[in-house]
Amino acid sequence: MQKPHPLIEIFGQTPDIDIVIFLMVHGFDDYSQKEIAKYTGLARQTIAKRLPVLIRYKLAKVKRTIGHSSMYQFNASSKQAEALVNMHNSLVNIIVEEEKAIMKAKK
Protein backbone atom coordinates (compact mmCIF):
# COMPACT_ATOMS: atom_id res chain seq x y z
CA MET A 1 0.00 0.00 0.00
CA GLN A 2 1.33 3.43 -0.97
CA LYS A 3 1.85 5.91 1.85
CA PRO A 4 0.12 9.27 1.52
CA HIS A 5 2.20 12.29 0.62
CA PRO A 6 3.97 13.67 3.75
CA LEU A 7 2.12 17.00 3.51
CA ILE A 8 -1.20 15.13 3.46
CA GLU A 9 -0.18 13.03 6.47
CA ILE A 10 0.66 16.15 8.45
CA PHE A 11 -1.99 18.64 7.35
CA GLY A 12 -4.75 16.28 6.19
CA GLN A 13 -6.21 15.89 2.74
CA THR A 14 -7.72 19.24 1.86
CA PRO A 15 -8.37 20.82 -1.54
CA ASP A 16 -5.60 23.35 -0.94
CA ILE A 17 -3.04 20.64 -0.15
CA ASP A 18 -4.17 18.55 -3.14
CA ILE A 19 -3.81 21.53 -5.49
CA VAL A 20 -0.45 22.63 -4.06
CA ILE A 21 1.01 19.13 -4.25
CA PHE A 22 -0.21 18.71 -7.82
CA LEU A 23 1.25 22.05 -8.91
CA MET A 24 4.47 21.51 -6.97
CA VAL A 25 5.06 18.06 -8.50
CA HIS A 26 4.36 19.46 -11.97
CA GLY A 27 6.18 22.73 -11.29
CA PHE A 28 7.38 23.49 -14.80
CA ASP A 29 4.04 22.89 -16.50
CA ASP A 30 0.91 25.03 -16.40
CA TYR A 31 -2.67 23.82 -16.17
CA SER A 32 -6.17 25.17 -16.60
CA GLN A 33 -8.69 24.90 -13.79
CA LYS A 34 -10.37 22.08 -15.73
CA GLU A 35 -7.09 20.15 -15.99
CA ILE A 36 -6.28 20.66 -12.29
CA ALA A 37 -9.75 19.36 -11.44
CA LYS A 38 -9.26 16.33 -13.68
CA TYR A 39 -5.87 15.37 -12.25
CA THR A 40 -6.68 16.06 -8.58
CA GLY A 41 -10.19 14.62 -8.62
CA LEU A 42 -11.57 17.84 -7.17
CA ALA A 43 -14.63 19.64 -8.51
CA ARG A 44 -13.87 22.50 -10.88
CA GLN A 45 -15.88 24.81 -8.61
CA THR A 46 -13.55 23.90 -5.74
CA ILE A 47 -10.51 24.68 -7.89
CA ALA A 48 -12.04 28.03 -8.89
CA LYS A 49 -12.69 28.85 -5.23
CA ARG A 50 -9.31 27.78 -3.84
CA LEU A 51 -6.87 29.01 -6.53
CA PRO A 52 -7.32 32.71 -5.62
CA VAL A 53 -6.32 31.86 -2.03
CA LEU A 54 -3.22 30.01 -3.21
CA ILE A 55 -2.38 32.91 -5.52
CA ARG A 56 -2.84 35.41 -2.67
CA TYR A 57 -0.37 33.39 -0.59
CA LYS A 58 1.98 33.20 -3.59
CA LEU A 59 1.94 29.40 -3.83
CA ALA A 60 0.36 29.47 -7.30
CA LYS A 61 0.39 31.96 -10.13
CA VAL A 62 -1.22 32.58 -13.49
CA LYS A 63 1.47 31.67 -16.00
CA ARG A 64 -0.42 32.68 -19.15
CA THR A 65 -3.86 32.99 -20.67
CA ILE A 66 -5.14 31.00 -23.63
CA GLY A 67 -8.34 32.51 -24.96
CA HIS A 68 -10.49 32.96 -21.85
CA SER A 69 -8.66 30.31 -19.81
CA SER A 70 -5.95 31.13 -17.31
CA MET A 71 -3.14 28.61 -16.99
CA TYR A 72 -1.83 28.07 -13.46
CA GLN A 73 1.58 27.01 -12.20
CA PHE A 74 3.35 26.51 -8.88
CA ASN A 75 4.96 29.85 -7.96
CA ALA A 76 8.43 28.40 -7.30
CA SER A 77 10.03 31.87 -7.21
CA SER A 78 8.10 33.03 -4.13
CA LYS A 79 9.56 32.84 -0.63
CA GLN A 80 6.38 31.07 0.54
CA ALA A 81 6.73 28.36 -2.10
CA GLU A 82 10.44 28.04 -1.38
CA ALA A 83 9.69 27.51 2.32
CA LEU A 84 7.08 24.88 1.48
CA VAL A 85 9.46 23.04 -0.86
CA ASN A 86 12.22 23.15 1.78
CA MET A 87 9.84 21.75 4.39
CA HIS A 88 8.68 19.05 1.96
CA ASN A 89 12.26 18.06 1.11
CA SER A 90 13.23 17.96 4.79
CA LEU A 91 10.26 15.75 5.60
CA VAL A 92 11.08 13.38 2.75
CA ASN A 93 14.72 13.18 3.87
CA ILE A 94 13.69 12.42 7.45
CA ILE A 95 11.25 9.72 6.29
CA VAL A 96 13.89 8.12 4.04
CA GLU A 97 16.46 8.07 6.86
CA GLU A 98 13.91 6.56 9.28
CA GLU A 99 12.99 3.87 6.77
CA LYS A 100 16.67 3.09 6.14
CA ALA A 101 17.19 2.70 9.90
CA ILE A 102 14.18 0.36 10.13
CA MET A 103 15.46 -1.76 7.22
CA LYS A 104 18.95 -1.89 8.74
CA ALA A 105 17.54 -2.96 12.10
CA LYS A 106 15.60 -5.81 10.44
CA LYS A 107 18.79 -7.28 8.94
5: in domain: no
47: in domain: yes
pLDDT, tens digit (0-9, with 9 covering 90-100), for 13-65: 899 999 999 999 998 899 999 999 999 999 999 999 999 999 999 999 999 99
CA distance 50 to 55: 9
CA distance 15 to 8: 10
> What is the average pLDDT score of the chain?
91
DSSP 8-class letter at 57: T
2: in domain: no
25: in domain: yes
85: in domain: yes
39: in domain: yes
- For residue 40, what are the domain limits? 10-106
97: in domain: yes
Query: Number of structural domains, the chain?
Result: 1
77: in domain: yes
